[in-house]
A and B are shown apart, each in its own frame.
Chain A
């Protein structure tokens, strides 16, 4: 390859062109051996930095004079109204429907008809402030969720910047629901792609009690993607692995934490009184379940903002829009994906309700398509007395279930390694009302060396109202809020989409007293040393230096202290402190603070790093790992979190103070 070709290819790749694998490999090979082309590549990036991040000249505001001139022009030469010819634009079958949105729509079936003017709702026209508090929204949505018995709705979905050849995609989405566990979601892709060899993102998910079905193209880069069909029988109720993404109907999980949403105000959207709230994309992920269901979608940045309009009476989402986060960090992220410049004022993804109703959908809506292969979760629904006969114990039940009704008792399949043992040793009692659900698992023969149920050993230790102890984790994409209780003679876990406070009330009403973790679960040995979970107080006392901890008010909103552990390796003792979100974590992950005696920073864990000033010393920032490290008074500190940016971590580092035992 000659330098001319290599530099042209480097240039094209920088500008978002896709190189063939062969060409990309040839360029890499050439750059590795040609100092001139390597310098060209570095220089081109330096130039981009200079061009894109330079100080912009002050731009005059010309809207008024321009519009005055335009208005004169319009008066003197009124524009002729053009009739749009059918088929004129190649925008797909969905656009004409949207362009007629000003016309009133009538449909007898539709109770909560949504149509009409969008005019009041433009995000740049700030609606009036409302006295409504974020907590009112959270409670309102949760209350509505427990009362909803049926729902059906149709949405339009518009996605921008799917790819260089596909600037806009138009899709439609239908959702049907009947409490407690009949749910269906259809996504139909109306985009007209420039080439034939693109698989449209057509998706379907159907849950019908113990059966679950999904179909859609596998996620793959542009090209023909094979369809994947999944059928599950004997599903565990409210199973996380076969989910029913009901936040599309009422965003219970999305809006669970009042601390993390901002109420912008009220307005009229689609002709209905509505409330607008704002939250980061990372928090709003349950509103976008289709992104993980299959097909190909554009990427989103964790800090992109989601503006969500909720119906003021029913709390149903009416419209939600994703806007790019401003700032250099996102610009750099966008470059990695070859995205074009995206203004933070313009939407990149929009979901708009076209119609919705609380009429129960026909039962046939939830028919599972016939397929040859089905996997089996092995859950057997039984009566309470049969459950006792099979397991040999009568499961305990909470005195308080927050108004939910008993739904099903099932015996989950034994773990695979014990499959030859036919005896089932676990019970699962489920409760529900509307969209709200609660599961209580129990076993009397727990042999694991960790907590029973989907709860990890770094979970937060919480005191229950009955004097016992439980271990709590927030809701995640895979699970609801859950806690595990280790008691004398029995192990239990609870999982739910009730709030944390409600979950603790239910747990506190169980006739057992939770104990702290046994030593065998707390202490683990690995090649990296011996790790022991300990209270912060005991851990701090064991260290040869004074432990620093962040001020609780400096933690990002929604976070709280979860757990601490000591790591002993040879003669050193290090401390890890974990902070987790209280209500829900859809990808931000825990924050970890590591402290260890050291004179200098350890070797860098990534090639991409930069120096930053932290607490008056020069530290290191590793963007790939979202990790901030520094050495201060002979102690090495490291702060990391999956999706916190440098500014958040620096603020946290600045707040560190010597831990004082209570």
Chain B
């Protein structure tokens, strides 16, 4: 995923709302999609997206550029999504399940089902690398893992996803 122009980022860091709006425009769709993969709930994903950008605005000054801006933003979004899911779980104990948005187009259903079928440790690197196109280093930054760990999780994730989707693959497995 492409990082923003350093000049836009610099202006946003100095509090320029126009520049920050450029960042929001640039990444809101990706952050929402990422949040949606976690929450499986359109409106919750909207809340997560808004919260993620608010936190990003708040903490932009502390962003030192050690990792890519997009990795940093996704890390925030992931934390927000985790918080939201935790909050929903405690909420669900008392309330009926919330209504989710309109059904997904058919083409996505299978992939989503497969993503849900595999474990978190496989789903996260798969989403970041295969769906969002992050590099190993960027995914490692988002997930707070070592690059080597991401690499081994990734090929196991592929294997798990293929099994879940019944994509052509060695029946014997690894």
Residues of A within 8 A of B (CB): 3-4, 7-8, 10-12, 15-17, 35-37, 39-40, 42-44, 46-48, 50-52, 54-57, 59-63, 65-67, 69-71, 73-74, 77-82, 84, 88-89, 91, 95, 98-99, 101, 118, 160, 164, 167-168, 340-343, 345-347
**In the complex the two chains form, is A36's CB within 8 Å of B170's CB?**
yes
Could you say which residues of chain B place their CB within 8 Å of the CB of A50?
A: 110-111, 165, 167
Contact A54/B111 with A11-B155, A39-B168 known, Cβ cut-off 8 Å: yes
Could you say which residues of chain B place their CB within 8 Å of the CB of A42?
A: 168
Interface check B92, CB cutoff 8 A: no
19 contacts between A and B (CB under 8 A): A7-B159, A7-B174, A35-B170, A40-B162, A47-B162, A52-B130, A55-B105, A55-B107, A60-B42, A66-B53, A69-B53, A70-B17, A70-B57, A78-B15, A99-B10, A167-B3, A168-B6, A346-B5, A347-B5
Q: Residues 93-127 of chain B: 1 if any A CB is under 8 Å from the residue's CB, otherwise 0?
A: 00000000000110110110000000000000010
Interface check B32, CB cutoff 8 A: yes
**In the complex the two chains form, is A70's CB within 8 Å of B111's CB?**
no
Contact A57/B152 with A40-B159, A40-B170, A43-B167 known, Cβ cut-off 8 Å: no
Q: Residues 136-171 of chain B: 1 if any A CB is under 8 Å from the residue's CB, otherwise 0?
A: 110000000000000110110011011001011110
CA distance A35 to B168 in the complex (A): 11
Q: How large is the interface on B (under 10, 10 to 19, 20 to 34, 35 or more residues)?
A: 35 or more
Q: Select A57's contact among B36, B60, B172, beta carbons within 8 Å.
A: B36
**In the complex the two chains form, is A43's CB within 8 Å of B28's CB?**
no
Of all chain A residues, the one with the shortest Cβ separation from B30 is: A59
Q: Select B111's contact among A7, A51, A164, A168, beta carbons within 8 Å.
A: A51
**In the complex the two chains form, is B2's CB within 8 Å of A62's CB?**
no
**In the complex the two chains form, is A67's CB within 8 Å of B24's CB?**
yes
Please give me the 3 A-B residue pairs with the lowest Cβ-Cβ distance, nearest first: A36-B170, A341-B133, A11-B155
CA distance A587 to B64 in the complex (A): 43
Contact A340/B135 with A79-B15, A346-B2 known, Cβ cut-off 8 Å: yes
Could you say which residues of chain B place their CB within 8 Å of the CB of A101?
A: 7
CA distance A380 to B153 in the complex (A): 68
Classify the interface of chain B: helix, strand, loop or mixed.
helix
CA distance A343 to B30 in the complex (A): 11
* B5 shortest CB reach to chain A, Å: 7
**In the complex the two chains form, is B28's CB within 8 Å of A63's CB?**
yes
Residues of B within 8 A of A (CB): 1-7, 10, 13-15, 17, 20-21, 24-26, 28-29, 32-33, 36, 42, 46, 49-50, 53-54, 57-58, 60-61, 64-65, 68, 104-105, 107-108, 110-111, 126, 129-133, 135-137, 151-152, 154-155, 158-159, 161-162, 165, 167-170, 172, 174
Q: Select A37's contact among B53, B108, B154, B170, beta carbons within 8 Å.
A: B170
CA distance A10 to B154 in the complex (A): 11
Contact A73/B129 with A43-B169, A54-B111 known, Cβ cut-off 8 Å: no
Q: Which interface residue of B4, B68, B169 has the most chain A CB atoms within 10 A?
A: B169
* A191 shortest CB reach to chain B, Å: 13
CA distance A74 to B137 in the complex (A): 33
**In the complex the two chains form, is A66's CB within 8 Å of B130's CB?**
no
Q: Select B17's contact among A15, A71, A118, beta carbons within 8 Å.
A: A71
* A440 shortest CB reach to chain B, Å: 49
Q: Select A59's contact among B33, B104, B129, B133, beta carbons within 8 Å.
A: B33
Q: Select A79's contact among B7, B61, B108, B111, beta carbons within 8 Å.
A: B61
* A122 shortest CB reach to chain B, Å: 8
Could you say which residues of chain B place their CB within 8 Å of the CB of A88?
A: 64-65
* B2 shortest CB reach to chain A, Å: 4
CA distance A65 to B48 in the complex (A): 12
Could you say which residues of chain B place their CB within 8 Å of the CB of A340?
A: 1-2, 133, 135
CA distance A55 to B105 in the complex (A): 7
Q: Select A54's contact among B42, B108, B152, beta carbons within 8 Å.
A: B108
Contact A62/B46 with A42-B168, A47-B165, A70-B54 known, Cβ cut-off 8 Å: yes
Could you say which residues of chain B place their CB within 8 Å of the CB of A51?
A: 111, 126, 130-131
* B40 shortest CB reach to chain A, Å: 11
Could you say which residues of chain B place their CB within 8 Å of the CB of A48?
A: 130
